[in-house]
Amino acid sequence: MNIDQGEDGNGVLSRSERPDAGLGHASSAGITLMGDPGSRGYFGEFGGQFVPEALVPACQQLETAFRSAWPDSSFRKSLDGILHAYAGRPTPVTECRRLSENLGIRLLLKREDLTHTGSHKINNVLGQALLAKRMGKPRLIAETGAGQHGVAAATAAALFGLECEVYMGEMDVHRQELNVFRMKLLGAKVRSVSNGSRTLKDAVNEALRDWVANVESTYYCIGSVVGPHPYPWIVRELQAVVGNEARSQCREILGGADPDVVVACVGGGSNAAGTFAGFVDSSSELIGVEASGGAAISRGVPGVVHGMKSMFLQDDDGQVQEAQSISAGLDYPGTGPEHAHLSSLGRARYTAANDVQVLDAFSLLSRTEGIIPALEPAHALAFVIEAARAGEIPGGASVLITLSGRGDKDVAQVMDLTAGG
């Protein structure tokens, strides 16, 4: 069974043939955005549920469980309590005074690097682990690229007493040895994937195969706003806490105003989706920053991969091409379907940063603010630095960046790349 390919006879089945109109926030353009995608799971023309027949009941069961849990006050109270007492929410918004002066803008960081486990991934995983417990699933599986989602999944499994296995591309296992050890220390089994490009795309494939084989006992905890419906919706809802907090915090800092520009890095796109959900009905410009060696939104074409219709890097024959990035977390040849939808409507703009720009941004934030970012959000920072210096972001503009993770996991890699700095 080839789960990696699309709907042209390559083993992925669909029960979703046409999009439903979604419900949600009304944007400043009067278009309804970032709400419930309906039972078919479409955001405009993107999304859906393209899975083998064996997984259709599992997806339906998951959707039913989430629709029951999400409005349940006891479930939400439990989740909010764990996010506060265990994960450390709310995270602060930090004003970068020295870097702001350097760039001529007012730069704010939403500090997801300060959560337990060091990234926004914990928000999603705690919610899905609670849902797994509610559904009576004793085993959690996950995919990971940079390792942060794997660490978060292993953490939640330890907290709730669940068995946990994490699939990770062989190349990423070598790049992220520290996170691999952290997962094992937390009691998870790490499965190195040697197929294909040996990165995140292939880890997702193997996790999906595991889910097919063990669906009765296993909950697949997807780490981003990707995959078949209802995952893109579930993950965005669980990450919306980032944007909702940030909007309120920014208004306190900016005298009641929203930021002029809101920026987040995008691979699969969960931190960006969670951030944008808080600002989609505002006048803030929304900008997602991909890795230049990926850039699925600007360079890709519509296709069906990993159970969803979205934008993917593909060759002329429709075969998925490998993405290249200094960051394991952005090394994915596609993006979440809701990002493809936001781009098609023009509500969010997507651009890219290259490895050299990212390393420069990584160093500049560290030296000016004493904050070492993960390589993933360093892409968002790299864009802002270049755009401010070029005048694309006007002087004095207020800019919010979601700092989705801390750079501990990347320090050894950056040290090697820069020969010790």
Q: State the amino acid at position 345 in one-letter form.
A: L
Q: Considering only CA atoms, which of 309, 347, 350 is closest in space to residue 37?
A: 309
**Cα atoms in the Cβ-side hemisphere of radius 13 Å centred on 88:** 14
Amino acid 405 reads G
List the structure tokens of 177.
């040895």
Q: Which residues are catalytic?
A: 96, 120
Between vectors from CA 401 to CA 151 and to CA 231, what angle results, nearest 5°? 50
Dihedral sign of CA atoms 353, 354, 360, 363 in order: positive
State how far the alpha carbon of 259 is from the alpha carbons of 26, 243, 263, 270, in Å. 18, 12, 10, 20
**Widest pairwise Cα distance in the chain:** 56
User: What token pair was written down for 379?
Assistant: 């892409």
Report whether 385 contacts 364 (CB < 8 A). Answer: yes
